[in-house]
Chains A and B, each alone.
Chain A
């Protein structure tokens, strides 16, 4: 099935790229989405199975793949609307959809890969396809963004490669050369601690560009700002998840060695610094998309802190990332409508959104409550659990710092969102506002509803998979 999925993704992507007829493009896109759903259904029903030697369907892989598929369907739908409303050329449409297919399939395969080198190769493919999406508008700003993204990603994948080499060195004494995660876990007690430390530092730093964390976050923020919003939604969620799983699988190895505390200090410092920088940038940022992107950085920082706090924190961190996937993608999809109304990303040139797009405004308001974890948002549950875990592990100073930073973020996010929704716009010509179908907001409501559902009343299978994901981690 995995082979069939890979072949379908490659074929549909290439056909879209080569044959630029509208009918062929959209039928291939639909075919790929069907393949994506079938592959996910297969993975879901075949837990524990390994295919093509490098893809094992473990609990966390299944969870992140399901989340990816749930958002890739509306991403394709909103991509269609985006291309239709922007009167794109045949060439830009073909490149957009083929890059989208390669991005979705690379992320989907990356989350279920059982070998660090395979995850790394798939991460490289996401860099390539994401850069095609960032360069979609082909203007000076897009070129600047894509240059920075490619350059920083090239350095970070080199870092991950160096990390893999160090992992190899740490394995030497065991006599094994197998770099699969299962083999690394199996030999955990014999790994050379010096090389393991170096490996973790390089791999973690390399993956921060995908995870939107300090120190490599800048390129990913630019990427989400410049790519068309439906593609930005995937970069702000699915791509982040791919970086997370790359890091998380290595973290699982580290957590089972005497280096656990050292690792926690590294990722804890990164997490707090990320939340702090996200709060500082959000205070001055006026660009709505960048604000969403910085909010993603905040949530990833929170997830890192959840992992550091241990115990229920592991569970909460993964739950948080899955909920973030649904909510943040919903907000990015909603942004396409905001831009169509105001033709501007700057919050200062927006206002009275309720008057121009009632359903969209309701979706945005719901999205704001969800993303800031205000009850009844599903994220309230995960954030509450993270704080409980911090309390249990007596990390009171971290808790206080986080409270202050999160309050700042809720305030500034709210100030900007309420300005967009309720305050009068400056120098705005109402006659240019297009009519937006309420159905375009349906997927956003659905995504927020899913987040609410799994936050407050998670199905049994979901909880079981979550628990299994963190089973290998020590308490």
Chain B
């Protein structure tokens, strides 16, 4: 059953590559949060109640509700246009994401580790690389933030792979997630929205070598 959810997570990555509207991105991020909760609930069978509550807060409350809500608020407040405006056609993005997933699958077969569930590794690494690709191929700052969220979700899956033996690592990951997201979203997106009226990375090109 865990694998079914992990495959759903992989499908969301494909969906990211072809989605056009920013609201779709936000909805898919919320869906990823729910999938992550399901995966952690099934994977972390030996975990204590306190940690489980923390994970519930992180996945459902933070990833599925707070972050999507905040992103939607930022979209509305700064009147950001609805299109994601990628530099490359969606078809190319789809091929790139497919290549990423195929290569991580191939890489996973070179691992000689009986303890590891390969599926976790494939999904986590694919998500990390897809997040980086989304950051590199989209024009708006807010899509960069969404790309970062995808990376975070991938990293969370990887931390679940070791979660039973080292619950502290999962907590550390949650700490990173909240720290970085609050820093990026909470402080700067608001500021950037105020200062740079149309939030586009082309405007962030004044800082250079002269």
Which of A144, A151, A168 has a CB less than 8 Å from the CB of B162? A168
A139 vs B155: C-alpha distance in the bound complex, in angstroms? Answer: 34
B169 touches A168 (CB 8 A): yes
Fill in one digit per residue for B178-193: 1 if any A CB lies within 8 Å of its CB, else 0: 0110011000100110
Within B141-161, the residues touching A (CB, 8 Å) are: 141, 144, 148, 151-152, 155, 158-159, 161
Q: Say if the beta carbon of B33 comes within 8 Å of chain A.
A: no
A195 vs B115: C-alpha distance in the bound complex, in angstroms? Answer: 12
Residues on A with C-beta less than 8 A from B184 are 150-151, 154
Knowing A141-B206, A150-B183, A194-B110, the reply to whether A155 touches B148 (Cβ < 8 A) is yes
Residues on B with C-beta less than 8 A from A195 are 111, 113
B145: nearest chain-A partner, CB-CB: A151
Fill in one digit per residue for A432-469: 1 if any B CB lies within 8 Å of its CB, else 0: 00000000000000000000000000000000000000
A358 vs B148: C-alpha distance in the bound complex, in angstroms? Answer: 50
Fill in one digit per residue for A194-209: 1 if any B CB lies within 8 Å of its CB, else 0: 1100000000000000
- For A121, A154, A192, which residue has the most chain B Cβ atoms within 10 angstroms? A154
Residues on B with C-beta less than 8 A from A147 are 141, 188, 192, 204
Which of A169, A226, A285 has a CB less than 8 Å from the CB of B116? A169
Knowing A124-B176, A147-B188, A150-B183, the reply to whether A165 touches B169 (Cβ < 8 A) is yes
B191 touches A143 (CB 8 A): yes
Q: How far is the CB of B144 from chain A (nearest CB, A)?
A: 7
A285 vs B209: C-alpha distance in the bound complex, in angstroms? Answer: 5
B172 touches A161 (CB 8 A): yes
Residues on A with C-beta less than 8 A from B110 are 194
Q: How far is the CB of B107 from chain A (nearest CB, A)?
A: 9
Q: Say if the beta carbon of A415 comes within 8 Å of chain B.
A: no
A161 vs B152: C-alpha distance in the bound complex, in angstroms? Answer: 10
A161 vs B166: C-alpha distance in the bound complex, in angstroms? Answer: 14
Q: Say if the beta carbon of A287 comes within 8 Å of chain B.
A: yes
Residues on B with C-beta less than 8 A from A164 are 169, 172
- For A127, A151, A195, which residue has the most chain B Cβ atoms within 10 angstroms? A151
Which of B155, B166, B183, B204 has a CB less than 8 Å from the CB of A168? B166
Residues on A with C-beta less than 8 A from B162 are 165, 168-169, 172
Q: Say if the beta carbon of A158 comes within 8 Å of chain B.
A: yes
Q: How far is the CB of A180 from chain B (nearest CB, A)?
A: 13
Residues on A with C-beta less than 8 A from B159 are 165
A162: nearest chain-B partner, CB-CB: B155
Residues on A with C-beta less than 8 A from B35 are none
- For A127, A145, A161, A173, which residue has the most chain B Cβ atoms within 10 angstroms? A161
Q: How far is the CB of B91 from chain A (nearest CB, A)?
A: 27
A148 touches B204 (CB 8 A): yes
Q: Is the interface of A mostly helix, strand, loop or mixed?
A: helix
Q: Say if the beta carbon of B128 comes within 8 Å of chain A.
A: yes
Q: Say if the beta carbon of B195 comes within 8 Å of chain A.
A: yes
Within A147-177, the residues touching B (CB, 8 Å) are: 147-148, 150-151, 154-155, 157-158, 161-162, 164-165, 168-169, 172-173, 177
Q: Say if the beta carbon of B68 comes within 8 Å of chain A.
A: no
Residues on B with C-beta less than 8 A from A161 are 155, 172-173, 176
A148 vs B148: C-alpha distance in the bound complex, in angstroms? Answer: 13
Q: Say if the beta carbon of A222 comes within 8 Å of chain B.
A: yes
Which of B148, B169, B206 has a CB less than 8 Å from the CB of A140? B206
Residues on A with C-beta less than 8 A from B141 are 147
A226 vs B206: C-alpha distance in the bound complex, in angstroms? Answer: 12
B113 touches A194 (CB 8 A): yes
B110: nearest chain-A partner, CB-CB: A194
A285 vs B169: C-alpha distance in the bound complex, in angstroms? Answer: 43
B210 touches A346 (CB 8 A): yes
Residues on A with C-beta less than 8 A from B169 are 164-165, 168
A162 touches B128 (CB 8 A): yes
Q: Say if the beta carbon of A128 comes within 8 Å of chain B.
A: yes
Q: Say if the beta carbon of A86 comes within 8 Å of chain B.
A: no
Residues on B with C-beta less than 8 A from A168 are 162, 166, 169
Knowing A117-B172, A158-B155, the reply to whether A287 touches B113 (Cβ < 8 A) is no
Binding site for A on B (CB under 8 A): 110-113, 115-116, 128, 132, 135, 141, 144, 148, 151-152, 155, 158-159, 161-162, 165-166, 168-169, 172-173, 175-176, 179-180, 183-184, 188, 191-192, 195-196, 204, 206-207, 209-210
Pairs of residues from A and B, 6 with the lowest C-beta to C-beta distance, nearest first:
A154-B180, A285-B209, A144-B204, A168-B162, A144-B207, A172-B115
Given A121-B175, A169-B115, A172-B113, 5 new contacts (CB under 8 A): A117-B172, A148-B207, A161-B172, A177-B165, A192-B112
